Amino acid sequence: MAIKATIYKATIQLSDLDRNVYGDHSVTIARHPSETDERMLVRLFAYVLNVPAGPDEQPLEFAKDMWEPDEPSLWQKDATGRIVHWIEVGQPDEKRLLRTTARVGRVSVYSFSANTVMWWKGLASKLTRTRNLSVWQIPSVQSQALAALAQRTMQIQVTIQDGSIWVGDSTRSVEIAPLRLFGPSEN
């Protein structure tokens, strides 16, 4: 019998002063049996950084990347079902990124491994022509600190101001400073 996903629930209080995005977001995250707390919290962090700014935009959704190889970690679709933003967590290969950037309006990658710089050096020259790709590195020390916030039911506060990002719960707070490796400066 296959091991089933573990369900996590998070209530996020977001104050993004840089984009003027504020609000409470309740999300349910299905954690694949092989997924770590660190990766799950980086997915949640990517969600927070990319929450749509306006009420006229379609919601950002958690996809089934760990179950379905043709899906990302998160995606945003327009009213017709066309994918407008594809978000990967981890280190996707060159073919996946080239295929995705050719058919989707915007692609973002959030890598959190200690070897992110080496991974990116191997791909950078092959992806220089992509104009809709952003690649971010979350320093592994910060992503590991983020993982410490994982609980089955989470109450998380996120404040973003002047490029500084603070993520915390009622007992601890972590500053996260993603490094842009490629692409436009917006998330």
In 3D space, the residue among 43, 40, 31 whose CA is nearest the CA of residue 4 turns out to be 31
The pLDDT of residue 127 is 93
* Rounded percentage of the chain residues whose pLDDT exceeds 70: 97
Interval 35-94: pLDDT, tens? 999 999 999 999 999 999 888 889 999 998 888 888 999 999 999 999 999 999 999 999
| Residue-range domains of the chain with CATH | 6-182 (3.10.640.10)
Q: Helices 140-147 and 37-49 meet at what angle, rounded to 10?
A: 100
Overall pTM surpassing 0.85 (yes/no): yes
Where does residue 128 rank: exposed (0-12), middle (13-18), buried (19+ CB within 10 A)?
A: exposed
